[in-house]
């Protein structure tokens, strides 16, 4: 029996934001306590360090989706919700390639959600409800306010429990269940469970966040009921650290609370969400060719895009092109059309055609990560490393944890045969990719190797030594 996991607490550019609240105003006044405002700098720094440590462990041990378009679609919604709070820049939002319904978060601002959450939802409002609930747990610092939160290495130890529990959730059979039970027992033994009042607070404040962001508050209650009906036997991941059961009382309170708010137009037939959902099914290997063909045969634009992506991933470029041409008959502009078409041409080694397709939209939208990364990929194939690195570096300046960016930087450095520091650059970019993928020891070895090769270049040697020291210090956080 398929198990359903809900970490319905700290969980985890485009038409979603504009559709769901760009022009949304309300005269209602909400009283949301901003607990984080009184937190000491040391505690905030400690939380962030631990959040980044868990980020690396999750990257290493779990099937994190590395898909810029999918990541950016969900992050745009997440950012819109986050704008309703006083939280600073989050560590990130990870998409876990797993069909189970699950989301979680870690102090410091690391959020994650499973692809199964997206594919089980009926609209983006339902996904936003889970995200908002998770954000509320973080803004109210529910874990860190507990009595034992910052004694010794308590928080760090619990980070290890979280990672272990998440990995256990991937397993089938009694072994996985046993690990999960052990993880929960360890948490309970430390008396670090959420209280029912904190769960209610996260529901209440999360609903306020989603409402003021323009999402339908009824959708939080709707999704609670969907999860409740999905299975009669629910196994729980840590709700932040330990999830409380989704009780009928909690569902009733969510519905009552939503009924007290002014109505927001439902988005049950949101084509942009249909595109996201169908594409997610393909990326996470949850859709079969036959299922997609049935929908595509009905002239469904979302299904045609998804089927074209499916064939592209299979390497069947003729069928991918045929299906994508059907989607183009809708006369609609969509970034996925450009991205899939570029991938088809790249698969056929038609580099000039690929460049023509992707260069214009990427130049028009320099802030669009997915389009510009695809352009960088084409430029690397065309042996233009400097141009590719220039595109990617601006995104790395905003987010040093971007694995897709570091991978492109390494590939570009590898073909830059004119650079006297070619091997050094390949090693230092590889080190960053290894480090943020959770392979800390290997990353440090790569940097030490780069230092030996760059010994005659004082500026580069100093840069490498500084980064090595940072990695060595952060690696001391054991979980």
Q: What is the per-residue DSSP string for 248-304?
A: HHHHHHHHHHHHTSPP----TT-HHHHHHHHHHHHHTT---HHHHHHHHTTT-HHHH
Per-residue pLDDT tens for 379-431? 999 999 999 999 999 999 999 999 999 999 999 999 999 999 999 999 999 99
Mean pLDDT of the chain: 81
pLDDT digits (tens, 9 = 90+) for 321-341: 999 999 999 988 899 999 999
State both tokens at 399.
């987010």
Say what percent of the chain tops pLDDT 70: 75
Q: Write down the H helix ranges in 348-384.
A: 351-364, 369-381
Structure tokens, 85: 């709070």
Please give the Cα distance from 262 to 26 (Å, whole number).
9
Helix (H, G, I), strand (E, B) or coil at 117: helix
Identify the three-state secondary structure at position 94: strand
Q: At what angle do helices 335-347 and 369-381 cross, to 10 degrees?
A: 20
Name the DSSP class of 7: -
Residue 52, Cβ neighbours under 10 Å: how many? 21
Q: How far apart are CA 220 and CA 210, in angstroms?
A: 9
Categorize the per-residue pLDDT at 86 as very low, low, confident or very high, splitting at 50, 70 and 90: confident
pLDDT at 158: 55
In this predicted structure, what is the pLDDT of residue 96? 94
Look up the pTM and report it.
Answer: 0.83
Question: What are the tokens at 168?
Answer: 């256990």
Alpha-helical (H) ranges within 62-114 are 68-82
For position 74, what pLDDT does the model report? 96
Task: Provide mean pLDDT across the span 79-99.
Answer: 90
Candidates 433, 442, 429, 426; CA nearest to 475 is 442
Predicted pLDDT at 315: 97
**What confidence tens digit (pLDDT) does each residue in 111-152 have?**
999 999 999 999 999 999 999 998 988 888 766 655 444 444
Is 74 within 8 Å of 95 (Cβ atoms)? yes
Q: Regarding beta strands 110-114 and 103-106, do their DSSP bridges make them parallel or antiparallel, or are they unpaired?
A: antiparallel
Q: Which has the closest alpha carbon to 394: 409, 413, 384?
A: 409
pLDDT at 170: 56
In the DSSP assignment, the letter for residue 93 is E
What ranges make up the beta strands (E) of 344-465?
Answer: none
Q: What is the reported pLDDT for 389?
A: 98
**In this model, does residue 456 exceed pLDDT 80?**
yes
Whether the CB-CB separation of 101 and 42 falls below 8 Å is answered with no
Query: What per-residue confidence (pLDDT) applies to 269?
Result: 61
Place of tokens 């904190």: 198
pLDDT for 228: 73
Task: Scan for tokens 């141009």, then name that residue.
Answer: 387
Rounded to the nearest 5°, which phi and psi values hold at 342? -60, -45
Q: Which residue has the tokens 């027992």?
A: 185
Q: What is the pLDDT of residue 253?
A: 86
* Beta strand ranges found along 63-160 (DSSP E): 92-96, 103-106, 110-114
pLDDT at 195: 64
Are 411 and 430 within 8 A, CB to CB?
Answer: no
Q: Strands 110-114 and 234-235, how do they pair? A: unpaired
Average pLDDT on 52-79 reads: 93
∠106-8-243 over CA atoms, to 5°? 80
In this structure, what token pair is assigned to residue 288?
């079969």
Lowest pLDDT segment from 39-48, 124-133, 258-267: 39-48
For the ranges 21-30, 95-104, 158-167, 337-346, the maximum mean pLDDT occurs at 337-346
**C-alpha–C-alpha distance, residues 411 and 67, integer Å:** 17
Does residue 350 have a pLDDT over 90? yes
Residues near 155 by beta carbon (within 8 Å), at least 6 away in sequence: 46, 47, 50, 107, 143, 144, 149
* The pLDDT value given to residue 167: 61
């Amino acid at each position: 029996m398929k198990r359903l996991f809900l970490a319905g607490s700290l969980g985890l550019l485009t038409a979603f934001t504009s559709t769901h609240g760009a022009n949304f105003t309300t005269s209602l006044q909400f009283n949301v306590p901003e607990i984080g405002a009184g937190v000491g700098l040391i505690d905030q720094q400690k939380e962030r360090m631990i959040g980044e440590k868990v980020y690396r462990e999750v990257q290493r041990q779990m099937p994190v989706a590395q898909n810029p378009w999918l990541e950016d679609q969900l992050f745009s919604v997440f950012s819109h919700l986050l704008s309703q709070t006083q939280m600073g820049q989050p560590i990130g939002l990870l998409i876990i390639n797993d069909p189970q319904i699950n989301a979680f978060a870690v102090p410091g601002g690391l959020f994650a959600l499973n692809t199964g959450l997206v594919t089980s939802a009926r609209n983006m409002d339902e996904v936003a409800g889970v995200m908002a609930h998770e954000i509320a747990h973080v803004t109210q610092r529910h874990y860190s306010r507990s009595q034992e939160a910052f004694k010794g290495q308590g928080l760090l130890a619990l980070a290890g429990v979280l990672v272990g529990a998440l990995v256990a959730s991937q397993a089938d059979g009694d072994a996985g269940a046993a690990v999960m039970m052990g993880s929960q027992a360890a948490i309970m033994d430390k008396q670090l469970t959420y209280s029912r009042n904190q769960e209610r607070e996260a529901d209440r404040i999360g609903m306020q966040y989603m409402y003021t962001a323009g999402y339908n508050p009824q959708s939080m209650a709707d999704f609670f009921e969907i999860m409740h009906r999905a299975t009669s036997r629910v196994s729980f991941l840590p709700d932040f650290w330990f999830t409380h059961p989704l009780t009928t009382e909690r569902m009733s309170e969510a519905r009552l609370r939503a009924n007290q708010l002014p109505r927001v137009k439902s988005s049950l037939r949101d084509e942009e969400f249909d595109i996201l959902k169908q594409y997610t099914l393909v990326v996470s290997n949850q859709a079969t060719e036959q299922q997609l063909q049935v929908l595509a045969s009905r002239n469904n634009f979302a299904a045609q895009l998804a089927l074209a992506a499916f064939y592209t991933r299979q390497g069947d470029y003729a069928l991918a092109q045929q299906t994508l041409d059907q989607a183009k008959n809708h006369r609609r502009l969509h970034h996925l059309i450009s991205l899939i078409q570029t991938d088809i041409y790249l698969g056929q080694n038609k580099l000039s055609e690929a460049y023509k397709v992707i260069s214009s939209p990427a130049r028009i939208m320099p802030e669009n990560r997915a389009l510009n990364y695809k352009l960088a990929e084409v430029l690397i194939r065309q042996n233009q490393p400097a141009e590719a690195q220039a595109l990617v570096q601006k995104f790395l300046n905003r987010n040093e944890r971007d694995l897709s960016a570091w991978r492109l930087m390494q590939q570009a450095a590898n073909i830059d045969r004119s650079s006297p520091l070619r091997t050094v650059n390949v090693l230092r970019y590889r080190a960053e990719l290894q480090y943020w993928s959770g392979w800390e020891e290997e990353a440090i070895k790569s940097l030490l190797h780069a230092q030996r090769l760059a010994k005659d270049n004082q500026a580069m040697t100093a840069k490498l030594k500084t980064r090595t020291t940072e990695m060595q210090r952060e690696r001391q956080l054991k979980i």
